[in-house]
């Protein structure tokens, strides 16, 4: 009998040997088990979705004969012009002087990462990333067969020898960074570190991707300039910048709308449009129109609600960690976003701990190892506080602390 699995595997492209399942997506299946306290998936709290506003927007579009015809039809690959104009105005208010021609809408920022990888990466190219970094970016880029380079700890806090860093590596690297409330650590770059990264990019002729997925979710501290804003201030205009900004409404409005965007020089946007035409033609027209209507009314008030809610959950998490965790465990202290990053005592493997956490304490999280491009730190885990209540957070941290204490 023919082994069809093997037969098909022989037909797949060579690059498929590098593609792996996303451990976080697999862990989301745990949410279907009601007795598990999950701190795994970094997904928005559905109770914070502006559902009524979204519903009213769909009704307004579909009840208008002219608008409904437009909404249900094919559209341009660049994206719905009123939404791109709104984004350009909003980004301009935050130091990124640009026009709608500098913006392309994507099916979430994840598609933006895939298209940017396709545009910039040839087999053997270098991708410079933080250590750790967003797993979804590694998945998007890996299909294009690059080599990864973890930016050394402290490289942005002092003089970084760019020549030594790139020795033996392909020239003109692609850099991917999450400056604000990063996934998975919840940490942010200081303004000085952002400037140092731009200087390193100049020295190595690096193209920078700035993933701003969590930038709007700041609930403490001061707002810092984006990499692109600093880049424009240095270079003189967005057309001279080397930074490409990826934004999304998935964390602020709803992930189901699949609305993200790329902002950058027109020369890059024009090529991305060609790639999008060959991918999915355009983002859902009706979703773009609904997204525009949703953000043009009381958006700042909605963001304030999100920040207050996630800020309270983050503080509940930090307080619970202080109360329950044994000595030898350390963690980040985010001022925005959805994540806390734990470093466990040496010898405790996050993946092994997860198996025991589910079996013994019915609590879930994400092991840290998959977030590393090169050498992994196995004694790390990521906690997301976006979904649980304050009471569930305290209970979950107590359970996790008990388990860790038994391993020490």
DSSP assignment of 134-149: -HHHHHHHHTT--EEE
Q: What local confidence, expressed as pLDDT, does residue 396 receive?
A: 97
What residue segments make up the domains of the chain, in order of their start?
14-43+301-406, 51-297
Contact by Cβ (8 Å): 367, 40:
no
pLDDT in tens, the chain (408 residues): 556 777 788 888 877 777 766 665 565 566 567 889 999 988 999 999 999 999 999 999 999 999 999 999 999 999 999 999 999 999 999 999 999 999 999 999 999 999 999 999 999 999 999 999 999 999 999 999 999 999 998 899 987 889 999 999 999 999 999 999 999 999 999 999 999 999 999 999 999 999 999 999 999 999 999 999 999 999 999 999 999 999 999 999 999 999 999 999 999 999 999 999 999 999 999 999 999 999 998 999 999 999 999 999 999 999 999 999 999 999 999 999 999 999 999 999 999 999 999 999 999 999 999 999 998 999 999 999 999 999 999 999 999 999 999 988
Tell me if domain 14-43+301-406 and domain 51-297 are identical in fold. Answer: no
Q: What local confidence, expressed as pLDDT, does residue 284 receive?
A: 97
The answer to whether domain 51-297 has CATH 3.20.20.70 is no
- In the CATH hierarchy, which top-level class contains the domain 14-43+301-406? alpha beta
CA 242 to CA 223: how far, in whole Å? 22
Q: What local confidence, expressed as pLDDT, does residue 158 receive?
A: 83
pLDDT in tens, 389-402: 999 999 999 999 99
Quote the longest CA-to-CA distance of the chain: 66
Enter the tokens of residue 191: 């303004």
Q: What local confidence, expressed as pLDDT, does residue 395 receive?
A: 97
Q: What local confidence, expressed as pLDDT, does residue 385 receive?
A: 98
Q: What local confidence, expressed as pLDDT, does residue 173 receive?
A: 97
Q: What local confidence, expressed as pLDDT, does residue 22 receive?
A: 60
Q: What is the CA radius of gyration of the chain?
A: 22
Strand 37-38 to strand 363-364: parallel, antiparallel, or no bridges (unpaired)? parallel
pLDDT in tens, 311-351: 999 999 999 999 999 999 999 999 999 999 999 999 999 99
């Amino acid at each position: 009998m023919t082994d069809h699995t093997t037969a098909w595997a022989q037909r797949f492209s060579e690059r498929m040997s590098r593609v792996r399942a996303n451990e976080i997506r697999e862990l989301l299946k745990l949410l279907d088990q009601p007795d598990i306290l999950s701190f795994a998936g970094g997904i928005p709290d559905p109770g914070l979705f502006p559902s009524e506003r979204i519903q009213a927007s769909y009704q307004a579009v579909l009840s208008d004969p002219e608008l409904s015809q437009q909404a249900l039809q094919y559209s341009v690959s660049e994206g719905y012009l009123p939404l791109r104009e709104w984004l350009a105005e909003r980004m301009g208010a935050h130091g990124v002087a640009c026009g709608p021609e500098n913006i392309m809408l994507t099916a979430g920022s994840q598609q933006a990462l895939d298209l940017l990888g396709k545009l910039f990466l040839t087999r053997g190219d270098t991708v410079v990333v933080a250590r750790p970094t967003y797993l979804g970016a590694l998945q998007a880029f890996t299909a294009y067969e690059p080599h990864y380079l973890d930016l050394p700890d402290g490289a942005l806090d002092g003089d970084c020898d760019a020549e030594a860093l790139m020795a033996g590596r392909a020239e003109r690297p692609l850099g991917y960074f999450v400056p604000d409330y990063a996934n998975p650590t919840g940490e942010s770059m200081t303004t000085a570190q952002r400037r140092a990264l731009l200087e390193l990019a100049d020295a190595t002729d690096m193209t920078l991707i700035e993933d701003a997925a969590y930038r709007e979710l700041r609930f403490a501290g001061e707002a810092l300039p984006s990499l692109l804003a600093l880049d424009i201030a240095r270079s003189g205009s967005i057309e001279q910048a080397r930074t490409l900004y990826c934004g999304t409404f998935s964390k602020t409005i709803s992930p189901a709308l699949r609305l993200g965007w790329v902002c950058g020089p027109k020369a890059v946007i024009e090529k991305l449009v060609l790639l999008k035409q060959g991918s999915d033609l355009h983002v859902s027209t009706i979703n773009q129109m609904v997204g525009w209507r949703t953000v043009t009314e009381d958006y700042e008030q909605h963001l304030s609600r999100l920040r207050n809610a996630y800020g309270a959950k983050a503080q509940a998490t930090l307080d619970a960690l202080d109360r329950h965790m044994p000595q030898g465990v350390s963690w980040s202290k985010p001022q925005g976003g959805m994540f806390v990053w734990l470093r466990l005592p040496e010898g405790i493997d996050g993946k092994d701990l997860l198996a025991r956490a589910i079996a013994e304490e019915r609590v879930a999280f994400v092991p840290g190892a998959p977030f590393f491009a090169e050498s992994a730190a196995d004694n790390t885990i990521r906690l997301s506080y976006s979904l649980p209540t304050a009471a569930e957070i305290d209970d979950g941290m107590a359970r996790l602390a008990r388990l860790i204490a038994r391993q020490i």
